[in-house]
Amino acid sequence: MADPFNQISFASVALVIFVLVWFVLSYTELSLFRKAGHALSHYGQFAYSCFLKPHSGDGTGSQQDALESFYKSQASVYDATRMRLLQGREDMLALVAAQSKYRRDTGQMREKPVWVDIGGGTGWNIEQMQQQLDVPTFFHAVYLVDLSTSLCEIARKRFERLGWSNVHVVCQDARTFRLSDYEAGVDEEKRDFSIGRSAYDEDAHDSVGADVLTMSYSLSMIPEFHPAVDSVANLLAPDGIVGIVDFYVQNKIEFCNRNYTGGAIDRHCMWISRVFWRTWFELDRVNLDSARRDYIEYKFGTILSTNRRCRFLGFRIPYYIFVGCPRRTSRMLDEVAQLDAAVTESPFISALDLHARRRAAQDPATPPAEDRHSKAYDTAIVNLTASLPLPAAYYQNQKTRIYYDETLPQHRQFGNEYIYAFTWEDSRADARILNITPEDKILAITSAGDNILSYALANPKRLHAVDLNPAQNHLLELKVAAFRSLPYKDVWRLFGEGKHDDFHSLLLDRLSPYLSTQAFDYWLHVGPATFAPTGKGLYFTGGSRHALNLVAVLGRILGISSDLRKLCSAKTLGEQREVWEKRVRRVLLSRLLAYFVVGSERFLWKALGVPGAQRAMIEEDFEGGGGVEGEGESEKSGQAIWNYGVQTLDPVAKETLLSEENHYYLLCLLGHYTPASHPTYLDAAAHTHLSRPTTATAANPLANLRIHTDTLTEVLTRLQPGALTIAVLMDSMDWFPRPATKKFSATSASSVAAAEGTEQALKQCQLLHRALSKGGRVLLRSAGLWPWYLQVFEDVGFACTRVAVRGEGSVRGDRVNMYASTWVCVRQG
C-alpha cells in the first residue's frame, strides 16, 4: 500500500462502493432489506436442517422420532421455505373444491361435508382452501392428522389465530386414525371402522365417513405406505373425494398396459431424472418409488390425474396430482351396462344378466349376434374379473366421453394436436338439408365440434360424435364443459375471441368437474398458452393455423393487411366486392402461390387437412373439364388447385357478406369471430338453450351426447341395427384411396392402396346400411363432382341424390363453397 498508485486505486474502488451503497439505500425501503434478511435466514435454516444437521431420530426406530428430528428445527420456517418447492398444492385443492361443490350441488354429498387432511403439517392446506371455499361454513368439521408434534403445534396456533372452531388438529399415525373417535356424524350415527381392511371390500364403508380426504406431499414420507393407504381408503365415504399431490418418478414401461389410469402426458421420466431425484430425496427420508402412486391408482377410481414439473432453482422435479373416489365395484355393474346401452343404442338390461349370457356362450370371446357391446364394456368386464379399478371414464361426473386407449398408435399418430381448430362445413346448409327432429339419432364426425353443437340445438334423441384424433374430441369436450359450467361472457371469450385472461383458474375451478381426465390433462398442459391474452388465440393453434398464418404473412409482405381488415368490416356487398377485386384477389388467387405453396401436398395436408386422394379428385375433375394437354405434372396440379381456389373464393367474396353472415372466412382473415358474425352455437340464445339444467320434463340438449375416440368403422360395427336415422360423414370418404381410372393409371403399389380403399368404402357403406333405419340419411360432401364411391353406396342399397353442386359463379346456399358437391344417400328397404 506504500505505492501511491495502489492507494489511489483502493480509494477509487471504496468511493464507487460507497456511492452505490448510498444510492441503493436512498431509493430502497428498509422493509425490503428486512424481507431479504428473513428470506436468507429461513432458507439457511432450511438448508441446514435438510442437508447438514445430523438426524438424531434414527436410533429409536420410531417414525415420529425420525420426523421430529427432521422437522423440529425448521417447523417455524416450514411454510416460508416450501412455497416454491411444494408446487401443485393450490391446484390440487382447487380441483378437490370444484369436485366437492359439484357433488354437493347435485346431491351426491351432504351439505356439510367432513374433510380429513392426512399429513397436513402446519395447516397451510386448510388455510389455503379458504381461497376456494369458506372453510368455517362449508365444512361440518375438518381434521388435520399429522405425526410431527412440532408441525401440529404450528397448526394449532394458526387456527387459534384464524378463529376456526371446526378445525381439529390430531397428532396421530395415519394408519390408526379413526374418524369415529372424534366424529359422530351429521346423522348422529357412529362410524364403524376396520383399520387395514381392504377398501375393495365395500362392507368396510358405512354411510358416515370423510367426504373429502387430501394428502399433500405426505405419502412419500410414510415408510409403510400400504397399510396407510388401506386405512385412508376406509376413511373415505362412499361418495367421497380424495385428492393427492406428491413427487414421483416412473418409467413408461411400468404404466403402459394399464387402462384405469388417466393423464399419460409427461408421465414418463427420463432415466437420469429417475436415478437422481430418487437418490436425492432419499437423503431426507422422502421416497419417490413408483409403487406409491401405483397403489393409490389401484385402491381408488381415477377422476382426474395429471403429471407436472416443479421448476425450482433451474431444476424440473416431477410431481403428480390425483383426484379419485371409491371404486364402488358392486354399484358399478349396472352403471357399466347402462352406459354400454347408451353407446350401442341397445335396450338397457342388468349387467349381471349380460355377463351371465356372455359366460354361457360357447365362445366367451365372441358375443352372440344380438349382444353388441362397446369397447368400454369389454374393458370393464376384464377389469372387474381381474379385481382392478374400472377405466377412468366410468368415474367421471359426466359420462359423455367414451373410454379409449390413448396409448394406441392410431391415436398417437396425431402428436397430441388437433388439425382443425374450427369446423369448415356450413351448419346452416346442414340444418336446411337434414331438418333434424327430436326423434333423430345422429352420428357425425367431430372435427372441431362446432357442427355437433349446432345439431344439439335441434334436440336430437341421441348424438354420437366420432373422431380418431383424441385432441379433436378434447376440443369438443372443452366446449361442452364450458356450456355446462360457464356464463355466456366466458364462453364468448374462449371460443369467440379465442383468448381468456385466466384460463388456468377457469379450468381448475369451473371446468374440471365436467371434463374427462384425458381432456383435463390435455388442456392443463396446452390451454394456458392456447388462450393466453398475449398470444394469437385458439384459432392460431392446430394444423389449421398454417392457413391462417399464411394469410397473415401474405398480408404483411404484400401490403394488403389493411385491405383484409376492410374486407371483414365492409357493410355492403358492393363495398366488399370493390376491396376484393382491387387488391385482395390478385394476392390470394395468385398462380404463383397456388403452384408452389397451396398446391403442395404437404401444405394441403398440414394446413387444410386435404389428403392426397382428395387432391387427386380435384385434379381429375380439372382434367375432365379442360386441363391443358402437354403440361407437366406439377404445373397441371398447380393449375388444378388454382382453378379450384377461383371457383371457391370468387363466389364467396361476391355473394356473401363476411362481416355479417360468413364467419368461416372472417375467422381466417381476423383470427377470431365478431359479435355480428359467428357460428350459431355462440349466440347468446344458443348458450341459454345448451346450458339449461335437466328437469323432470326436459333434458339438457347435451345430455344425450356421446363422444367416441375411434374409427367410424369400429363405432358403426358396435351399434345395434337400425340405431341411427342420420349419419354426417363430411368429406371423410374422399380420404379413401380411389380406384384407378383411365386418366390416372395406378402403379402396383397404388393399385394395392386403391383396392384397400374400395374395400374400406364397401365395408363402411355396408355398416352404414345396417346401422341406419329404413329411410335413414347419409350426408356427405366431396371435392369431386361425381365421387367414385357413390356407386358403392348404390350397390349396397342407398339412393344417392346430389343436393348441391358448386359452379357457375354461385355459392348455391353453402357459405363455405369449398366442396364441389353435396350428397344425401337414403337407405332403402
Which pLDDT band holds residue 775 (cuts at 50, 70, 90)? very high
Give the angle 473-478-481 at the CA atoms, nearest 5°. Answer: 120
- What is the pLDDT averaged over residues 606-621? 71
Burial of 353 (0-12, 13-18, 19+ CB in 10 A): exposed
Report the pLDDT value the prediction gives residue 278, as an integer from 0 to 100.
92
Whether residue 829 is predicted with pLDDT greater than 80 in this model: the reply is: no
Q: How does DSSP assign 620-662, residue by residue?
A: HHHHHTTPPTT--HHHHHHHHHHHHHHHHHHHHHHHS-TTTT-
User: How buried is residue 153: exposed, middle or buried, by Cβ count under 10 Å (0-12/13-18/19+)?
Assistant: middle
pLDDT (average), residues 549-556:
85
Q: How does DSSP classify residue 249? A: -
Across 559-566, average pLDDT:
90
d(CA 635, CA 84): 60
Residue with grid cell 422437522, as numbered in its chain:
71
* Structure confidence at residue 541 as a pLDDT band (50, 70, 90): very high
DSSP string computed for 269-305: --HHHHHHHHHHHHTTT----THHHHHHHHHSEEEEE
The answer to whether 409 and 790 are in contact (CB under 8 A) is no
What one-character-per-residue DSSP string does 333-398 give? HHHHHHHHHHHHTPPP--HHHHHHHHHHSSSTTS--TT----HHHHHHHHHHHTT-PPPGGGGSSS
pLDDT at 349 over 80: no
Task: Convert the pLDDT of each residue in 686-709 to its tens digit.
Answer: 999 999 987 767 788 999 999 999
Residue 631's pLDDT is what? 45
- In the chain, how many H helices and how many E strands? 35, 14
Is pLDDT above 80 for 254? Answer: yes
Residue 718 pLDDT > 60: yes
Give the pLDDT of residue 448: 93
Query: Residue 196, Cα to own-chain centre: how many angstroms?
Result: 36
Q: What is the DSSP letter of 458?
A: T
In which residue are the cell numbers 361454513 written?
137
Give the pLDDT confidence score for residue 625 in this predicted structure. 56
State residue 539's pLDDT score.
Answer: 95
Does the structure show a pLDDT above 90 at 765?
Answer: yes
Instruction: Describe the crossing of helices 612-624 and 633-655 by its angle, rounded to 10 degrees.
Output: 90
Sign of CA dihedral 391, 392, 396, 399: negative
Q: How confident is the model over 445-474, as a mean pLDDT?
A: 95
SS3 state at 619: helix
For residue 649, the model assigns a pLDDT of: 87
Query: Can you tell me the distance from the alpha carbon of 113 to that of 211, in angstroms, rounded to the nearest whole number?
Result: 5
8 A C-beta contact, residue 394 and residue 336: yes
When comparing pLDDT for 480 and 367, which is higher? 480
pLDDT for the residue 467: 95
Joined together, the cell numbers standing for residue 37 give: 434478511
| Mean predicted lDDT score pLDDT of the chain | 82
Residue 390 has pLDDT above 60, yes or no: yes
Q: E strands within 219-277?
A: 236-247
Span 16-53, pLDDT tens digits: 777 776 666 566 565 654 555 545 554 555 555 555 55
Average pLDDT over residues 151-165: 92
The answer to whether residue 57 scores a pLDDT higher than 60 is no
Q: 70: pLDDT confidence band, cut at 50, 70 and 90?
A: low
Instruction: Report the share of the chain in percent with pLDDT over 70.
Output: 78
Q: Give the pLDDT confidence score for residue 201 in this predicted structure.
A: 47
Mean per-residue pLDDT, 618-634: 58
Q: Answer whether residue 570 shows pLDDT above 80.
A: yes
Sequence-distant (6+) residues with CB within 8 A of 405 are 259, 411
Short-list 144, 154, 146, 142, CA closest to 171: 146
Q: Are 232 and 215 in contact, with CB atoms under 8 Å apart?
A: yes
396 CB-contact burial (10 Å; exposed 0-12 / middle 13-18 / buried 19+): buried
**Please, which pLDDT band fits residue 81 given cuts at 50, 70 and 90?**
low
CA atoms within 13 A on the CB side of 88: 28
Q: Which pLDDT belongs to residue 63?
A: 62
Q: Which domains does the chain have, with CATH numbers?
A: 25-81 (no CATH), 85-327 (3.40.50.150), 330-395 (no CATH), 427-497+678-827 (3.40.50.150), 545-670 (no CATH)
Position 194 scores a pLDDT of: 39
Residues 6+ apart with CB under 8 A from 538: 421, 494, 495, 498, 499, 530, 531
Residues in a beta bridge with 324: 242, 302
Confidence bin at 743 (pLDDT 50/70/90): very low
Q: What is the reported pTM?
A: 0.86
The stretch 621-645 carries a mean pLDDT of 62
pLDDT at 286: 85
DSSP 8-state secondary structure symbol assigned to residue 87: T
Is the pLDDT score of 369 beyond 50? no
Angstrom distance (rounded) from CA 692 to CA 698: 9
Identify the pLDDT of residue 792. Answer: 93
Residue 463 has pLDDT above 90, yes or no: yes
Return d(Cα 42, Cα 361) in angstroms, integer: 69
pLDDT at 507: 97
Q: Which of 661, 424, 448, 404 is nearest to 538 (CA)?
A: 448
At 96-135, the pLDDT tens digits run 999 999 999 988 887 889 999 998 888 999 999 999 999 9
Burial of 737 (0-12, 13-18, 19+ CB in 10 A): buried
pLDDT of 200 reads 42
Of residues 546 and 751, the one with the higher pLDDT is 546
Distance CA 486, CA 693 (A): 13
- 595: alpha, beta or left, given left = phi > 0 and alpha = psi -120 to 50? alpha
Which pLDDT value is given to residue 188? 43
The residue that leads in pLDDT, 531 or 147, is 531
Across 336-342, average pLDDT: 77
Residues 6 or more apart whose CB falls under 8 angstroms from that of 374 comprise 339, 340, 343, 344, 402, 403, 718
* Structural contact between residues 140 and 164, judged by C-beta atoms closer than 8 angstroms: no
Which carries the bigger pLDDT value, residue 538 or residue 49? 538
Residue 466's pLDDT is 96
Average pLDDT over residues 673-680: 95
